[in-house]
Structure 1
Amino acid sequence: MHGHRRAYVRRGSGPALLLLHGLGCDHTTWAPVMESLARTHTVIAPDLLGHGESDKPRADYSLGGYANGMRDLLTVLGIDRVTVVGHSFGGGVAMQFAYQFPERAERLVLVSSGGLGPEVSPAIRAITTPGFHQAMSVLAAPGLRHVTTAAMRLLASTGVSQLRDLDEVADIYDSFKDPRKRAAIAHVVRAVVDWKGQIVTMADRAYLTEAMPMCVVWGAEDQVIPVTHASNASALAPTARIEVLPNAGHFPHKDHPERFAKIVRDFIRSTEPSHHDRERWRELLDEGASVSPIQAQAGSSPLTPVHSVRRAAGA
């Protein structure tokens, strides 16, 4: 599309699910849940531009650009409407897609998502520093890269909860051997993060989700984006269903794949798809948010990490 190769996986049949991976990952992050979800749904799992098997050009790596790319991919595949599931950075893309193309988004599932508060791990903030590309060219040299990734995977296998995500981090680190990917990732991060943390937030547009069923899933022990951001989502979108999974880190869909797939299926089964009302959308834009983003953020309180916390009509 538009001269660039876009890789994706398609599985199953039925109502469509669009699975959007996080920063530095690719479609394989969804492997633990893809087959389960494909039993009841058409599952589309792309490699975002700059990731995986998709091209890594000098291009637009903004959230808006990614949302446009997903619209075009779905159009090529003949899919009009989807439930969008976004993990981490992919959550930001999912929110942008639902905002730009509300007529094509039926529901929104955010998984340890970006865009719900400023806090983010120092490792991601480091990518925004001027010397990142040059430093990674040294750190990604074969010998050092192999030793470091092996150490990360060994630490991940120890069973220490704070280290559980290092196997995924090792895969991301290993992929940085490709200078095109390093450059693409740097462009992506600089569009949404600076040295203070996340720049882009849904806070100023959360009121537009009033007719969009939303589910937020988080790992209680997330070391990348704090679980307190789940309570930010609850404050910004009071009808959202919130699921906090114990003994899970930044990749709850990998830590508890069966539980995650059940949450997604139950959420879809128990909610009606959003139908875009152009006139109501105009009214909402005209009225604006009833509570300022700052008040909403200040008024939120951290969620207690429990097996499940749900806030939804009838739940």
Structure 2
Amino acid sequence: MESVEDVQYLVVHGYRRAFRISGSGPALLLLHGLACDSSTWLDVIPTLSEHFTVIAPDLLGHGESDKPDADYSLGGYANGMRDLLTVLGIDKVTVVGHSFGGGVAMQFAYQFPDRTERVVLVSTGGLGKEVTPLIRFLTVPGSSAALAAATFRPWRPLVAAGMRALSRTPLTATRDLDEVARIYESLADRATRRAVQRVTSHVLNWKGQFVTMTDRSYLARLMPVLVVWGSDDMVIPAKHADFAPTQVSDVHVLNDAGHFPHKDHPEEFCNLVTAFIAANEPAHYHRGRWRALLRRGDQYALESVPAAVDQGVEPAIS
């Protein structure tokens, strides 16, 4: 197996997809956040690879993947992940999504429940409206030109170095600036800026997030869900964890952690994910149960579904 540091490539639908793959065992798909890439998972991949086959792609428009003028919607990303996994010969996964990647993870589970065993949401988008003004700014007319000026080469190294220096201080508000510095540097690339702004236009505007999965969260009754957040998240508030489908979710808000709890506490994060998977059998998609839940459309739907469904018999629902 390739080293976790090695990035591999596949061409799917004519676009180059970069990804890291490591380990063996049940498949674990790690999806990064907006303007990040698969390297955000480097602190946890080695440990997780001791138990799982870990696949960490650079989403289209990010990292070393191509940045075409293409579909950057949640549904498009979910389709892309399905097709990448298919080419890799992987049928089912536990999907782990951070920030925007959490929205993609939820969309993947929604579109492909037959290929999703569990869902892990890390400081996820899609559970509430609030999001940092820095991301909302990306949707404002003229923001691309402003970003181009802000990341201009003469001062870019100084700004990035300043962010990294601030990230090493004990201040809660600056803990994530090392990762922000990487994002800032990546936005100097015009194709990356265009792709990131296309992504944001699909899920939020200057007022905040307008695409959420809360109206479909009752579907999580059919699938184990783990939610992990940092108590000091300055990007998406930790209170959004309260909007997770708590009737089935295992929710952990980690102290002394920001928007990247998997980087702030990698050992604890790996322990949570490993224990969650060990404690929860993979979801098994059944069309009758899925249909019954959709028809009722609320968290009590399964209570009216005959026990025969659990034995593989579809219910007759009028």
State TM-score, norm by structure 2: 0.90
Distance between the aligned counterparts of 1:158 and 1:228, measured in 2? 25
Which structure has the greater CA radius of gyration?
Answer: 2
Deviation at 1:237, TM superposition (A): 3.6
| Aligned with 1:286 (options 285, 288, 295) | 295
RMSD across aligned positions (CA): 0.9
CA contact (8 A) 1:207 1:237 kept: no
Q: How does 1:1-315 map to 2 (within 5 A)?
A: 1-233=12-244, 236-290=245-299
CA contact 2:221–2:299 (8 Å) conserved in 1: no
Q: Tell me the amino acid that sits aligned with residue 88 of structure 1.
A: S
Task: Name the counterpart of 2:9.
Answer: none
Cα deviations by residue, 1:152-192 (Å, 9 ceiling, x for unpaired): 01111112122100000000000111100000000001100
Partner Cα distance (1:196, 1:274) in 2: 36
Q: Distance in 1 between matches of 2:96 and 2:191?
A: 27
**2:268 partner amino acid:** R
User: What SS class does the counterpart of residue 141 from structure 1 fall into?
Assistant: coil
Whether the 8 Å CA contact 1:204–1:289 is kept in 2: the answer is no
- Whole-angstrom distance in 2 between the partners of 1:264 and 1:117: 23
Shift of 1:232: 1.1
User: What stretches of structure 2 of length at least 5 have no aligned partner?
Assistant: 1-11, 301-318
Amino acid at match of 2:249: A
**138-147 or 178-187, which deviates more:** 138-147
| Unmatched 5+ stretches in structure 1 | 292-315
After the TM superposition, which of the residue ranges 21-30 and 142-151 deviates more from structure 2? 142-151
Q: Percent identity?
A: 60
Superposed CA deviations along residues 52-83 of structure 1, whole A, max 9, x for unmatched, are: 00000000000000000000000000000000
The one-letter amino acid paired with 1:226 is P
Could you tell me which amino acid in structure 1 is paired with residue 221 of structure 2?
E
Structure 1 residues 87-111: Cα deviation after superposition (integer angstroms, max 9, x where no partner):
0000000000000000000000000
Tell me the TM-score normalised to structure 1 length.
Answer: 0.91
- State the match for 2:313 in structure 1: none
**Contact 2:139–2:206 (CA under 8 A) maintained in structure 1:** yes
In 1, Cα distance between equivalents of 2:299 and 2:282: 24
**Partner Cα distance (2:150, 2:253) in 1:** 35
Deviations along 1:92-134, one digit per CA (max 9) or x if unpaired, are 0000000000000000000000000000000000000011111
Indicate the residue corresponding to 2:3 in structure 1: none
Aligned length: 289
SS of corresponding position for 1:108: strand
1:2-58 deviations in whole A, cap 9, x for unaligned?
110000000000000000000010000000000000001000000000000000000
Q: Distance in 1 between matches of 2:162 and 2:175?
A: 13
Cα distance between partner residues in 1 of 2:128 and 2:239: 9
| CA offset digits 1:258-309 (Å, max 9, x no partner) | 0000000000000010000111111111111259xxxxxxxxxxxxxxxxxx
Query: SS at the partner of 1:238?
Result: coil
Q: Deviations over 1:210-269 (max 9, x none)?
A: 110000000000000000001111xx3422000110000000000000000000000000
Q: Structure 1: which 4+ aligned runs deviate by more than 2 Å?
A: none
Structure-2 residue corresponding to 1:307: none
